[in-house]
Amino acid sequence: MIARIRTVFVQEFRLARRNQWVLLATLMLTLFALALAFFGAGQGAALKADVLSLTAASLATLSVYLIPLIALLMSYDAFSGEVERGALALTLATPIRRWELFAAKFLAQCCAAGIAIVGSLAIAGAAVALVYGTEPAGLWAWARLTATSALLGAVFVAAGLTLSAATGRTARAAAFAIGIWLVMVVLYDLALLGGIMAAGEGVFASRVFPWLVLANPADAFRLYNLAALDAAPVAGIDGLARTLPFAPAAALGALALWLAALLALGMNRTGRIEP
């Protein structure tokens, strides 16, 4: 079992590297992080706030868009591509279990996405700390951001793999990947914003709304990072982070639940693929 998972892992990670996903994602995230850090730094100095904490706050808002996109792009073709090329039948003709295949692909792509995320945030964080100096609070905020970004990446890798296994066709998987990204990352927020504007202050805003935010992994990620920052100026939906009916750590629980649910669903779907 371990030998088979390792075999698929090595192959899948090699592919991610050769397709230059790791390099591309690292470059993109590093550039965005550096841009936010150094353009936002003037404001931080004026506020006499720690630049690293401030950058962590703005980067949390940006990562919500970028990381799910990168994770979905890495993973959406993992099964559908092999089904279309006829290679999956060969893999499944060997003694490998379906869940082993899913798990190995998941681990490899998480590693690829994780290396890009951790690497780019480490580079950008080090640059900011060197130029502006930092305090323990800033380092903590940065570490939290890095760890939860990797977790967010894992959730969307699992989502991408699941839809790849469920659709079985590359074109359809790509459409679903874009659809999921739009709904989860963009439209969901807009709908919530519309809801809270319409409902105003009341039961919806204080009781229902926070749970709806928690229900979306992307929002849960942002909520956790912003709620953990005392100094960051937050507004709009993010202002909610100040008046939560639950502890911020509950947002991590939501992410973990999503991950577990998607892994279970993905393995189930992989079991139903007919190569």
Partner 1 sequence: MNVLDITGLTIAFGKTVAVDNVSLSVAPGERLALLGHNGAGKTTLFKAILGFLKPASGQIAVAGHRPGSDAARIAVNYLPETVAFARNLTGREVLEYFSGLRGAPRAEIAGLLERVGLTGAADRAVGTYSKGMRQRLGLAQALIGAPRLLLLDEPTSGLDPVSRHEFYGIIAEAASRGSAVLLSSHGLEEIQNRTDRVAILAQGELRAEGTLAELAARAALRSTIRVTALPGEAERLHAELGGTRVNGTRLDIPCPPGAKLDLLARVGSHAGALADFDLQTPGLDDIYRHFSGQPLREETPQ
244 interacts with partner 1 by CB under 8 A: no
**Residue 8 engages partner 1 in binding (rule: CB under 8 A):** yes
C-beta of 14 vs 242, nearer to partner 1? 14
Q: What's the closest the beta carbon of residue 4 comes to partner 1, in angstroms?
A: 6
> Contact region for partner 1 (CB under 8 A) — 91-99, 119-127, 163-171, 202-210?
91-99
- Rounded distance between C-alpha atoms, residue 34 and residue 54, angstroms: 13
Q: How many residues belong to the site for partner 1 (CB under 8 A)? A: 24
| Cα–Cα distance measured from residue 71 to residue 110, given in angstroms and rounded to the nearest whole number | 8
Q: CA dist 264 to 80, 101, 103, 273, Å?
A: 18, 13, 10, 15
Interface region with partner 1, contact rule CB under 8 A, candidates 30-38, 87-95, 174-182, 194-202? 87-95
Q: Tell me the window of 86-94, 149-157, 197-205, 207-215 that interacts with partner 1 (CB under 8 A).
A: 86-94
91 binding partner 1? (CB under 8 A): yes
Rounded Cα distance between 65 and 86, Å, is 33
Residue closer to partner 1 by CB (options 13, 209) is: 13
- Using the rule CB under 8 A, give the single segment among 13-21, 22-30, 118-126, 238-246 that binds partner 1: 13-21
Side chain identity, residue 205: A
Contact by Cβ (8 Å): 223, 240: yes
Contact with partner 1 (CB under 8 A) among 35, 45, 47, 85: 85
Residues whose CB is less than 8 angstroms from the CB of residue 156 and which lie 6 or more positions away in sequence, other chains included = 67, 68, 71, 72, 75, 217
CA distance to 4, 8, 87, 101, 266, per residue, from 93 (Å): 13, 14, 10, 12, 20
**91 vs 268, beta carbon nearer partner 1:** 91
**DSSP secondary structure letter of residue 28:** H
> Could you say which DSSP state residue 233 is in?
-
Question: Which string of x and - marks every residue 95-114 that binds partner 1 (by CB under 8 A)?
Answer: xx------------------
Positions that interact with partner 1 (CB under 8 A) = 3-4, 6-8, 10-11, 14-15, 18-19, 85-87, 89-96, 274-275
